[in-house]
Amino acid sequence: MKILLYNIKFNKERFSVYDVLKANFIENNPIFTTDISQYDSADVVVFNFPHFRDQLPKKRRGQIWVSWNIESVTNYPMLENKVLGAYVDIWMDYRLDSCIPIPYTNDTFIERIRDAKPLPFAEKKDVCMVISNGHSNRTHYIRELMKYIHIDSYGSLFKNSTLPNDTGYKSLLELYRKYKFVIAFENSICEDYVTEKFYNPLLVGSVPVYKGAPNIAKFAPTFDCYLDATRFEQPSDLAQRLKWLCNNEEAYIEYFKWKNEPINRHFIDICYQNAVSPFERLLNKLQPPCTSFCTEYE
């Protein structure tokens, strides 16, 4: 069997792509190739359609097409195109009803998030964010929010702070660790689309202020480990709540009491989805006797 990764590239600096997906599984596996010249002899072809720039090749008889993607369908509506769906045999993406689900978590998150020790309340700053662009109406919302509460913004969106000695992901986590709250707004509002924006603050003992997937409760360790921005009618209401929490230590530490309580079973199940590399799960699915492929979402 030969599996061609048609336009799949892994960036080891991007934790959410490289580490979570365990791309190292394919690096020295002779079954996988990235040589497009081998397209005609490939049994399986994996496409990353949101970043596909070529003309769609002709599908060879008996060839299996796989759609690999961790981007929101809201930002890339082509992924729900019925014409594309007629060609795709196996879907690998963040959606829980995908053939091979790829959440932004892995099995290590359970203990890492539970064991993350927050800094003492007095040593923490109030609110920060690192957002580079505006999507899903978050630009307007954050602009309004910042009228009522100061937010240290280290990203290009409303930038007012600078991170010295920025070394990438490690620096980001260290920054979040120093704050009580982190603005964690997704770049699109989409079911099941819960990214590292939500998990990074939890990994270092901070509290995400979340706006994104409507079913976020299913993806959270517990319902009281984050502040849901959608529960407030106006940005001013959220700002008022944040101000109060930033000055009330007893109320703030309530967000960490869950660490000594049972964790959400849905969260655990989702984390274990990536206990095995999605590409290894793909390979297992393709081995005879093959399980039936799903050609569309249930």
Task: Indicate the domain borders of the chain.
Answer: 3-102+274-286, 109-270
* CA distances in angstroms from 261 to 123, 125, 255, 264, listed in the order given: 25, 27, 12, 10
220 touches 243 (CB < 8 A): no
* CA distances in angstroms from 208 to 23, 63, 142, 196, listed in the order given: 28, 44, 14, 11
SS3 state at 228: strand
* CA distances in angstroms from 157 to 13, 59, 140, 152, 264, listed in the order given: 22, 42, 11, 11, 33
Pairing status of strand 179-185 against strand 207-211: parallel
Distance CA 123, CA 102 (A): 36
For residue 79 the two structure tokens come to 């992924």
* Overall CATH class of domain 109-270: alpha beta
Phi/psi of residue 120, nearest 5 degrees: -55, 145
Confidence (pTM) = 0.89
Q: Mean pLDDT, consecutive 10-residue segments, the chain of 298 residues?
A: 85 46 70 92 93 87 92 86 86 94 91 95 97 78 96 93 87 96 95 95 97 96 96 97 98 95 94 88 81 45
Q: What pLDDT does residue 272 have?
A: 93
Q: How many helices (H) and strands (E) does the chain have?
A: 12, 11
Q: What pLDDT does residue 134 have?
A: 63
Q: What pLDDT does residue 22 have?
A: 55
Q: What pLDDT does residue 20 have?
A: 44
